[in-house]
């Protein structure tokens, strides 16, 4: 995409136009895998461009007396070869492409002249007009590469690229596939509740779905954005209420996938963090259904963060443990070693524990955790209805009852609760 098209109203003689306006760039995709690319300069320009060159499979030679820490890390990892010196004549021998980005104008001009003489396409960060190639603003989304050129206005190029890529990713820019899609199921972690916290890939798969089987704890606001033809199946597992049996969910996933539909199983948080995602993946595997797992932002970390609580903090907590509280400590089904947890000095994060918080707090105190340990209960985290109730291990059951806290809620136990301006232990 370029912005150097001649103005139809311009009646200047062709030769005069050629002298006063830059020639239109010819867009092309370079296949650099295994081919030598020379990068002169190890500063910020190289830091931005090197990852793309490496991803393209280029054989990259970096020539620079110094480099940014990020560029040096790439050299240390062996993804680029770094010669710690300045440019000298002959450095572009055998190169297919060159990126010139040193802070030495004379070296840049000399390297550019060498590139011209060797017919090596050359990008110059200091003088685009003297270059034989321009780097487009590039973005990618699921196999589509978007490259935008707007002459010598890189900020506009980046803005156009971002608009296109964002539209492709979130489905607002329609780009239907013309080759047949492979039917299957995507287990998508929807994040903690805020629809903006679903991953880019998860949102794109939602936009491409024929059927969405959604949990109550998924970002349900996103369902309103689905096209009318998309079938939405309510698989809500509401605490203390009706539930769609897991076997029925598995059957629905298999049935729709075998019918050739693209199916998204939209789950809250991450599919594999108390989400029974592996049970569904196993059922799909047994049925021969392709399955894609899209990780999600777990509420165990994101909800405390949204409420101002770091699950770890220097000098306070060096570890955090995530525990399911859906069964009480004295329940024979419990797999949790509450005595061991009580001895830990770090942070405990409890999911699905609201109605069992009394017995859990009691077990922790009985095994040695201090009654005054700060506790925070965060209900409906990351949503507009979010609220935080502070307490101590000794008072948390009473505070939860007094405040009428209901699921979904995340319980955080530990000294990190008292860190920051939002802390209010009671």
Distance of CA 172 to the CA centre of its chain: 19
| Nearest of 398, 385, 387, 386 to residue 426 by alpha carbon | 398
Catalytically annotated residue among 162, 170, 237, 355: 237
Look up 356 and say whether it is catalytic. Answer: no
Look up 215 and say whether it is catalytic. Answer: yes
| Nearest of 340, 344, 347, 342 to residue 312 by alpha carbon | 347
Report strand pairing: 262-267 vs 184-189: parallel
**And the tokens for 286?**
């047994």
Q: What is the C-alpha to C-alpha distance for residues 148 and 97, in angstroms, rounded to an integer?
A: 19
Q: What is the C-alpha to C-alpha distance for residues 44 and 324, in angstroms, rounded to an integer?
A: 45
- Half-sphere exposure of 394 toward its Cβ, with a 13 Å CA cutoff? 7
What does 197-253 look like in DSSP terms, one character per residue? Answer: GS-HHHHHHHHH-SEEEE-TTS-GGGGGGS-TT-EEEE--B-TTS-B--HHHHHHHH
| Nearest of 363, 359, 426 to residue 395 by alpha carbon | 426
Q: What is the C-alpha to C-alpha distance for residues 61 and 81, in angstroms, rounded to an integer?
A: 5
Catalytically annotated residue among 215, 270, 356, 390: 215
Positions marked active-site: 215, 237
């Amino acid at each position: 995409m370029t912005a150097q098209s001649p103005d139809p109203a311009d009646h200047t003689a062709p030769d005069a136009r050629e002298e006063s306006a830059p020639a239109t760039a010819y867009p092309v995709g370079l296949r650099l895998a295994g081919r030598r690319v020379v990068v002169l300069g190890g500063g910020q320009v190289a830091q931005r461009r090197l990852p793309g060159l490496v991803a393209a499979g280029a054989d990259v030679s970096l020539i620079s007396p110094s480099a940014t820490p990020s560029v040096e890390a790439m050299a240390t990892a062996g993804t680029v070869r770094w010669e710690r010196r300045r440019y000298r004549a002959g450095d572009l021998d055998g190169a297919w492409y060159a990126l010139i980005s040193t802070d030495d104008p004379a070296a840049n001009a000399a390297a550019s002249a060498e590139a011209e003489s060797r017919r090596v396409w050359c990008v110059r960060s200091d003088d685009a007009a003297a270059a034989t190639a321009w780097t487009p603003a590039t973005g990618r989304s699921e196999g589509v590469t978007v490259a935008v050129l707007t002459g010598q206005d890189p900020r506009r190029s980046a803005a156009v690229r971002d608009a296109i890529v964002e539209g492709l990713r979130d489905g607002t820019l329609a780009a239907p596939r013309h080759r047949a899609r492979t039917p299957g199921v995507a287990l998508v972690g929807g994040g903690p509740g805020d629809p903006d916290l679903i991953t880019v890939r998860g949102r794109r798969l939602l936009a491409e779905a024929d059927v969405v089987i959604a949990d109550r704890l998924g970002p349900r606001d996103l369902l309103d954005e689905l096209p009318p033809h998309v079938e939405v199946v309510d698989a809500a597992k509401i605490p203390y209420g009706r539930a769609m049996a897991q076997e029925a969910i598995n059957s629905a996933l298999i049935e729709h996938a075998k019918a050739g539909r693209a199916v998204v199983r939209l789950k809250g948080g991450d599919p594999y963090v108390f989400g029974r995602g592996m049970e569904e993946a196993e059922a799909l595997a047994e049925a021969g259904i392709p399955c894609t797992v899209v990780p999600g932002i777990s509420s165990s970390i994101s909800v405390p963060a949204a409420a101002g609580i770091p699950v770890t903090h220097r000098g306070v907590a060096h570890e955090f443990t995530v525990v399911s509280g859906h069964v009480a400590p004295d329940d024979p089904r419990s797999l949790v070693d509450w005595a061991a947890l009580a001895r830990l000095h770090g942070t405990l994060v409890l999911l699905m524990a609201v109605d069992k918080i009394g017995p859990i707090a009691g077990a922790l105190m009985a095994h040695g955790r201090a009654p005054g340990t700060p506790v925070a209960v965060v209900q409906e985290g990351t949503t507009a209805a979010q609220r935080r109730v502070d307490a101590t291990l000794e008072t948390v059951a009473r505070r939860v009852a007094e405040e009428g806290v209901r699921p979904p809620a995340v319980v955080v136990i530990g000294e990190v609760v008292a860190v920051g301006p939002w802390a209010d232990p009671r």
